[in-house]
Amino acid sequence: MALVPPHGGGALKPLLLTGAALEAEKKAAAGYKKLEITTREACDCFMMGIGAFTPLSGFMGQADWKGVCAEMKMANGVFWPIPITCSAGDEDGVNVGDKLALYCDEFGGLIATMDVTEKYEIDKVFEAKNVFRTDDKEHPGVQKVYEQKKFNIAGPVKVVSEGGFPDEYKGIYATPAETRAIFEKAGWTRIAAFQTRNPLHRSHEFLCKIAVEVMDGVIIHQILGKLKAGDIPADVRVNAINALVDNYFVKNTIVTKGYPMEMRYGGPREALLHAVFRQNYGCSHLIVGRDHAGVGDYYGPFDAQKIFLEIPAGSLVIKNLNIDWTFHCYKCGGMASLRTCPHGKEDRLLLSGTMVRKTLSEGGDLPAEFSRPEVVKILQAYYQSLEEKVEIKLHGAATGDVK
């Protein structure tokens, strides 16, 4: 058996230039009109650069944007769940036909170049309601939509930077070509991806171990881009996950890697985007548990599982590996799920990343059932080092109210 094919039916499509072509494009960019882009847009460039957003060749035009928002497919019929766009305002003076040098100061300057083929006005409410199922500006993904400038600009891009991710996260950061090579060397074809923006607590560990039982292996795939206030920084999370894997997983069953995207906190739609680029990374399955890619109480706990039943057949080759609500049950004497535990909620300790962050940020102690001691030690040191505390609010999925 072979690895799953990249999304869209063709080969991986990395847009990152190398060698003489890279140097030539950097030199040419000095003569292009300059546009400062957001960190989210820069990270989308990085994802296109490494081929994670195969088969995209650049930022989406109006037909693709509208089709993705409304029907989760591009104008050519290829499935895609969240628009990948770049915005500009009147003040930027961008016109169709321009060659742009895309800059992002937070990532050291020049990110990519772009040939502008379209410029169209954005209906932000339409995008928010279709993609995020809400136009509430308190939702962090919706907030980013409303922060976009007046127009989307579209066209093919040539990526000239990886934003420092390969050096900052050496050994963790990986391209789809690199993970595919790892899987092929290991002889794996059934690989489950576990998406995380949090250090792993015992429930996450349990999900991964369930997958290890039925797959050739699991990739713990961490997001390395900017997160919302209160989330644990990527470098701290990397150390915590490494401590867990080194001490509590069988060697050669787990691969730990990261990717340079920003979270949109889009719940069901983002779960589908996670599936799209995990297919590009060579994964056959995506673990989808409770409140995947959600935030607050905007989505039901299993909406991200249900949406895989709503998309047309053939949209994806990768499959979702659904796992029910998991928790520590005192009567069972260990980790369990709603499918395996017959006891009541009074016997259960629900484990959530939000609860971990809130407890430790307030200087509290976690029950031993919550997280491994090696992980807790790393997280406690991080919270003790903070000069300013961020208030972390509990939402419904984190309160332990399991029926």
SS3 content of the chain, % helix, strand, coil (to 5): 35, 20, 45
Selecting among 197, 237, 264, 357, the annotated active-site residue is: 197
Of 32, 12, 13, the closest CA to residue 116 belongs to: 32
The active-site residue, picked from 198, 278, 320, 348, is: 198
- Of 286, 272, 282, 274, residue with least CA distance to 319: 286
**Pairwise CA distance, residues 19 & 184, whole Å:** 27
Radius of gyration of the chain measured on its C-alpha atoms: 21
Question: Two tokens at 225?
Answer: 């881009």
Is 198 among the catalytic positions?
yes
**Structure-token pair, residue 252:** 């050669």
Q: Per the omega criterion (within 30 degrees of 0), is the bond before 367 cis?
A: no
Q: Residue 325 has which token pair?
A: 């609500």
Nearest to 4 by CA among 218, 219, 283: 283
Q: Smallest Cα–Cα separation from 14: which of 203, 175, 181?
A: 175
Give the closest residue to 401 by CA, choosing from 289, 294, 298, 290: 290
Instruction: Give the whole-angstrom CA distance, residue 225 versus residue 264.
Output: 11
Amino acid at 1: M
Instruction: List phi, psi (to 5°) of 34.
Output: -95, 135
197 is catalytic: yes
Tell the residue number behind the tokens 């590996």, with chain if given.
Answer: 321
Q: How far apart are CA 289 and CA 207, in angstroms?
A: 8
Structure tokens at 50: 């490494």
Count of positions (residues) in the chain: 403
- Judged by DSSP in three states, 206 sits in helix
Contact 281, 6 (CB under 8 A): no
The catalytic site residues sit at 197-198
